[in-house]
Amino acid sequence: MPTAPPLSPDAAAPVDVTTVLFHDAPLAVYLRGEDGAFLEVNKAMAQLFGYDTPGEYLEAMAACPDQHYLDPDARTALLAELARAGMLTGRQYQAIGRDGFVQWVEESARKVATPAGEIYYFGYLRDITAEKSTSWALSEAEEKYRAIFEHAVEGLFQMTPAGRFVTVNDALRRMLAFPSAEAMTGNDEAAAHLFCNPDDHEAMRLALESEDTVRNLETQLQRADGSRIWVSIQARAVRDGQGRVVLHEGSMVDVTERRQSQEQLRRSLSRTRRLFHQTVTALSKTVRYRDPYTAGHQDNVARLAGAMARVMGLSDDAVACIRVAGQLHDIGKIVVPVRYLCKPGRLVGLEWEFMQQHAQAGYEILKEIDFPWPVAEIVLCHHERLDGTGYPRGLGGADLGIEARILSVADVLDAMASHRPYRPALGVEAAFDVFTRQDAAFDAAAVDAARTVLRDGLIRY
């Protein structure tokens, strides 16, 4: 097997990959060229994918580089990240073996360069199909695993339950800003003192005592230079012959940037929600200044339709959609002359034709707004009926979504149960009489939901 490039930029001489990494390593270890092609793999790597020898695996991969990726795009994404960031930590994907067996693997790698400037990628894979915890025994691996341990991109450690580091790798030392590994291992309680919240260290100790493993414990640590970072800890308990926990061993990954990104995203979403609700409120107010009745009607319909949607078991997202559509469903009435909106008698002839235009007008006003739901279409359909007798398009049946069906029932019920400019309120029972007589026009489930909402006092008239 040929000699590989130095595994670190300051290496004095090439490292014999066969002796240090590939000969006895039980992990699936590889060396890739800059183009992503496998140059060397160990026997464990070959066996992981069902090949008897590294040569067979290399030959198969040379013929088809994507074959062990269940999703061929995973290889492209992996190599792109390596080229961009120079390292890869804990990338998980599904792999398929020679016999067709699909398994989950986790891959970590880093970029190494020779003095001549040649680029290679050194990495390893772990079979995580059975969610096996990370395990290694440093007492047995001092010689066999030293290269892997030192070149790991994750911070690796062994510590006592009391909080004294026994062994650390250089990645962890750098992560925690210590001047040397000895500065970490020479302090009886260095590990315990790192935890900004001491309860987190105690919780980890108790979990390892009772469950033997800790996965994805996120906690804040104070580095040697006084700064703070967030880390994700994976660890397992090592027990002696009497079953007592004598060591905690595992890995740490710096997740500070992810935590900061999540917090920024949370604040951004909060601002976006406020802006969204302010926009809906502002749009709703445009009707309020022309016709207080219509504004109150929109408010009532939004509450009623939202309550009906909850009774019908719709998702929170669907309920939010229906409430917004209800809040804006009559916004198109701003194009209807005020004299028609406030007329003390029934509308006739051209007056009624003007009023019918409000559904289309509402659609035209709302269609350019990038709502997270089809609000404009729902508003357009709130006067359509299942039997095709509605307006403006005469749609029916499957052409009407559940949102429009709920909104149409809520709209009619509130209109009849509330005072109108041309008549006093007719009452809730009058509305349900209409639903009964025109049962083909309204969704039965929506009508039942409206009855439940009123019966249970969720909305009162």
Q: What are 425-446's pLDDT values in tens digits?
A: 788 999 999 999 999 999 999 9
As a whole number of angstroms, the distance between CA 148 and CA 401 comes to: 58
Tell me the CATH number for domain 140-254.
3.30.450.20
Backbone φ/ψ region at 211: left (φ over 0), alpha (ψ -120 to 50), beta: alpha
* Homologous superfamily (CATH) for 17-131: PAS domain (3.30.450.20)
> What is the DSSP code (8-state) at residue 214?
E
Range(s) for CATH 1.10.3210.10 in the chain?
Answer: 260-455
Q: 110 near 122, Cβ under 8 Å?
A: yes
**Confidence bin at 142 (pLDDT 50/70/90):** low
pLDDT category at 6 given cuts 50, 70, 90 is very low
Strands 119-127 and 155-159, by their bridges, are unpaired
- Give the DSSP letter of residue 439: T
Kindly tell me if the per-residue pLDDT of 11 is higher than 50.
Answer: no
- Say how far residue 346 (Cα) sits from the centre of its chain: 53
Q: In which residue ranges of the chain is CATH 3.30.450.20 found?
A: 17-131, 140-254
Q: 233: closest CA among 258, 200, 189, 198?
A: 200
As a whole number of angstroms, the distance between CA 66 and CA 126 comes to 18
Cα 30–Cα 36–Cα 42 angle in degrees, nearest 5: 15
| Of residues 251, 164, 167, 161, the one with CA closest to residue 206 | 161
| Whether pLDDT at 280 is above 80 | no
End-to-end CA distance of the chain: 85
Q: What is the CATH number of domain 260-455?
A: 1.10.3210.10
Starting at the earlier edge strand, list the strands of the sheet with 213-222.
165-168, 155-159, 245-254, 228-239, 213-222
CB 154 within 8 A of CB 90: yes
φ/ψ of 155, rounded to 5, equals: -80, 120
Residues 184 and 168 sit within 8 Å (Cβ to Cβ): yes
pLDDT(276) > 80: no
**Residue 246 near residue 235 (C-beta atoms within 8 A):** no
Q: Which helix (H) or strand (E) holds 110?
A: strand 102-113
d(CA 332, CA 284): 10
**Residues 312-347 pLDDT 10s:** 999 999 999 999 999 889 888 888 777 777 777 777
Return the pLDDT at 108. Answer: 94
